[in-house]
Amino acid sequence: MGLDPVFGALLAICFAVLFASAAVHKWRNLPSFEIAFSAYALLPQIPTLHLTWLVPLCETAVAVGLLARATRGVSAVAGALLLLGYAGAIALNLQRGRRDIACGCGGPDQRRPIAGWMAWRNLLLALLLGLAIFPWSGRALTWMDGATIAFGAAAAIVVYLCVDRLGEVSARARALQGSA
């Protein structure tokens, strides 16, 4: 038994939008992402080697790959690995006690510090994306399924935006008390 095509399509569309928006943010201001990326201090710093653009490139590839049937499985695995990587990078730096580095997510003007909830969020997202690896069952889709996919994707995107904003607001509230 495979994944119902409605679930499959929902997952593929939502994650394609997520990765595409993440990639667009990074492409739009690559230098500021480069600063954020090097602040994670994951790789030894080699100043002549600017490999930061690989991250948005991977994200773009995953976003496009999720939409095509042939590449969906591979893209889902790659996307889940990317998300796990981000979660690991955030968790590692939190453990090092470097709580003030920018997360490198969101728009170029946003400078948000990394936080524990981001690591958990990415873990959850990776699990969800992992579901997209399963093949779809061969059920024929009706127009109602189309409506479910369209509305469902829109709802999921708005929920994601809400959670994202709430995380930011609560971080700001904590910073006000001087204890963040």
Partner 1 sequence: MTALAISNVLLWIAVLALLLVVLALVRQLGVLHERIAPAGALMLNRGLTVGERAPMIDVEDLEGRPLRLGAPREDGRSTLLVFVSPTCPVCKSLLPAIKSGRKDEKDWLDVVLASDGDLAEQRRFASEQGLDGVPYVVSTPLGLGYQVNRLPFAALVDAAGVLRARGLVNSREHLESLFEAQRLGVASLQEYFASRA
Answer for the pair 72, 121: CB distance below 8 angstroms, yes or no: no
CB of 141: closest distance to partner 1 in angstroms? 14
92 in contact with partner 1 (CB under 8 A): no
Q: How does DSSP assign the chain, residue by residue?
A: --B-HHHHHHHHHHHHHHHHHHHHHHHHTHHHHHHHHHHT--S---TT---TTHHHHHHHHHHHHHHSTTTHHHHHHHHHHHHHHHHHHHHHHHHTT-TTSB---S-TT---B--HHHHHHHHHHHHHHHHTTSPBP-PPP-HHHHHHHHHHHHHHHHHHHHHHHHHHHHHHHHHHTT--
How many chain residues interact with partner 1 (CB under 8 A)? 28
Site string for partner 1, 105-124 (x = CB under 8 A): ------x-------------
Tokens at 70, concatenated = 């042939």
Residue from the set 28, 100, 127, 135 that interacts with partner 1 by CB under 8 A: 100
165 in contact with partner 1 (CB under 8 A): yes
CB of 10: closest distance to partner 1 in angstroms? 13
Give the residue with the Cβ less far from partner 1, 127 or 169.
169
| Touching partner 1, residues 26-55 (CB under 8 A) | 35-36, 39
Residue from the set 42, 43, 54, 161 that interacts with partner 1 by CB under 8 A: 161
Binding residues for partner 1, rule: CB under 8 A, are 35-36, 39, 100-102, 111, 144, 147-148, 151-152, 154-155, 158-159, 161-162, 165-166, 168-169, 172-173, 175-176, 178-179
